[in-house]
Structures are given as structure tokens and as C-alpha cells.
Amino acid sequence: MSFSSWVRGTRLYFHMVAASIRAQMQYRYGFFMNILGWAMSYAGTAVTMWVMLYSFQSLEGWSFWQLIFLFALAVLSWGVCVIFFFHFRSLDQYILNGTFDRFLVRPIHPFFHFMAMKFDVGAFGQLLFSIAAVTLAYIQLGLDWPFWKWGVFTSAVIGGTLIQGGILVLISAIAFWTTRSERFYWVVMFPAKSMMNYPLSLYPRAIQWVVTFILPFAFVNYLPALLLLDKPHPSFSSYWGAFSFAVGLVFFSICYQIWMMGLNRYKSAGS
């Protein structure tokens, strides 16, 4: 792809995203409720975690504020991911009501077109929340990262966005085969995200293995947090945490390929 088509693509993305935001603002009440809803749901999770963690003060050798950091890191990349990819889970709706057809008769890439259709402004509420949580943990833990650790942190956020975005893309691809996707979000993503709020060493070996090598959730927060907080990994080098971005890139492109494979099987909807 040439440079000018990248520029055009980026401009187009912003145009469409702006349209999506204006569309969401048409429903003013819903718009603010959405933002509030996201913030509330995370505040809720945070309170629950707080209460739980506070009662044991430490878990698997993780201190209270370290646990908060682990949690906040996951929420941070999830927040970014939600903004761009959250609507992928409801691809089945787009297919059933026939909206998806239009992505195939326009001169832009269908994946890109679908991605640009929605931009979840509500998720900003959550993003602010998690930035605050990370900052607080950073201060409480008295951290003072050298430059390379900020690199690891950035790679974890971008990589985490790509990994979780990849899972959402994968979930949406299921709709091409089964005409269903939303419900798989609730079986796969929801439990996985709750699990990630705690140190992975709590879980059975098989699960740890799956989330490291197959659905690489471990690279979203657990592995980078080990490295950033100077904690040893029970079996691997803690430098694994530096590879979130690379893992995210590879994983996302695999998911994208599967989505494109699904697209070839697209059946549209009966009228």
C-alpha cells in the first residue's frame, strides 16, 4: 500500500469515526448513560477487588498495590480495545439486519469499513478510570521506571489492545460460520477478563499454558506486570513480558486472517 492511500485511509477513518460519534450524540441521554455505565461498572469491579484484596493484603506474593496495578493494566488496554473493537462482538446483528452487505459494495476494505463504523465513546469513561488507577498504583508502589520500562509498559498497552481486539475479531468471525457471535463474547471474553484480574499462578497449569501460548491473555497484563514490578516468573524468564507488542501483532494478524476466511463464506441474510 502506498503512502498516499494510507493518508487517505486515515482521513477516511477519522471522518467515519466522527460520524459515529455524532450519531451516538443524537441520543444525548443514552450517550451520557453509556459513559456513566462504563465508569460505574469498573468502579464496581474495583470496589469488589478492593474489598477482597484488602482482606488478604497479599496473594501469591503480590502486595495489595501490586494487585491493583495488575488489574489496572488489564483495564487500561481493554479500555483502548473497547473504543475500537467492541462492536465486533455484535457482527451477527449487522449480518442479520442486512447492514453488513453494504461493506462489500463500497470501495474500501470491508474489515476497515466495519471497524470504522463504530467508535465507542462511552469507553473513555473507563479509560480515564484505569489511567487514574495505574497512576495511583505507580505512586503507592514508589515506582521509578527507567526509560526501557516505559517502553515495556507502552508495548503492554498496545499489545494488550491487539490481543484483546484479536479475540473480539475472532469472536465476530464465528458469526460467518454460525450466524451468531454476541453470545460467544459472554462465554469467552467475559470469564477470561475476570480471570486476568488475578495473578495467573493461582490457576492450574493447563490454563496458564493456554493463556500464554494459545489465547495469549498472559501478555496483556500478567507477564508485563512481572517485568515492570521486578517479580520472578515461576517457570519462565520475566523478560517474556517485553514481548506483548510482538505477540499482539502476530495474534491479531492471525485473527484477522481467520476473519477474512470467514468473509469468504459470508451468506448474507434472506430478505
205 binds, among ligand ADP, Mg ion, another protein, none (CB under 5 to 8 A by kind): none
| CB nearer ligand ADP, residue 95 or residue 242 | 95
| CB nearer ligand ADP, residue 57 or residue 268 | 268
Contact between 259 and 106 (Cβ < 8 Å) = no
C-beta of 256: minimal distance to ligand ADP in Å? Answer: 24
Single residue of 44, 61, 98, 232 touching another protein by CB under 8 A: 98
169 binds, among another protein, ligand ADP, Mg ion, none (CB under 5 to 8 A by kind): none
C-beta of 111: minimal distance to another protein in Å? Answer: 12
Q: Say how far apart CA 16 and CA 233 lie, in whole Å.
A: 43
Residue nearest to ligand ADP (CB): 270
Asked if residue 55 binds another protein (CB under 8 A), the reply is: no
Single residue of 187, 202, 254, 261 touching another protein by CB under 8 A: 187
16 binds, among ligand ADP, Mg ion, another protein, none (CB under 5 to 8 A by kind): another protein
Q: Which runs of E-coded beta strand occur in 36-117? A: 58-59, 62-63
Cβ density class 138-167: b for 16+ within 10 Å, e for less:
beebeeeeeeebeebbebbbbbbbbbbbbb
Grid cell, residue 187, equals: 462465554
C-beta of 101: minimal distance to another protein in Å? Answer: 5
Percent helix, strand and coil across the chain, each to the nearest 5: 75, 0, 20
Stretch that binds another protein, among 14-22, 46-54, 190-198, 246-254 (CB under 8 A): 14-22
Which residues from 156-175 bind Mg ion, rule CB under 5 A? none
- In sequence order, what are the beta bridge partners of 63? 58
Single residue of 104, 202, 254, 261 touching another protein by CB under 8 A: 104
SS3 145: coil
Residues 6+ apart with CB under 8 A from 148: none
Stretch that binds Mg ion, among 89-97, 100-108, 229-237, 263-271 (CB under 5 A): 263-271
**Helix and strand totals (H; E) in the chain:** 13, 2
Q: Say how far apart CA 58 and CA 246 lie, in whole Å.
A: 31
Single residue of 7, 10, 15, 190 touching another protein by CB under 8 A: 15
CA atoms within 13 A on the CB side of 2: 3
- 11 — phi, psi (to 5°)? -60, -45
Asked if residue 10 binds another protein (CB under 8 A), the reply is: no
How many chain residues touch another protein (CB under 8 A)? 37
C-beta of 76: minimal distance to ligand ADP in Å? Answer: 40
Single residue of 2, 4, 26, 271 touching Mg ion by CB under 5 A: 271
Asked if residue 26 binds another protein (CB under 8 A), the reply is: yes
Q: What torsion, rounded to 10 degrees, do the Cα atoms 87, 180, 113, 86 define?
A: 10
Residues that bind Mg ion (CB under 5 A): 271
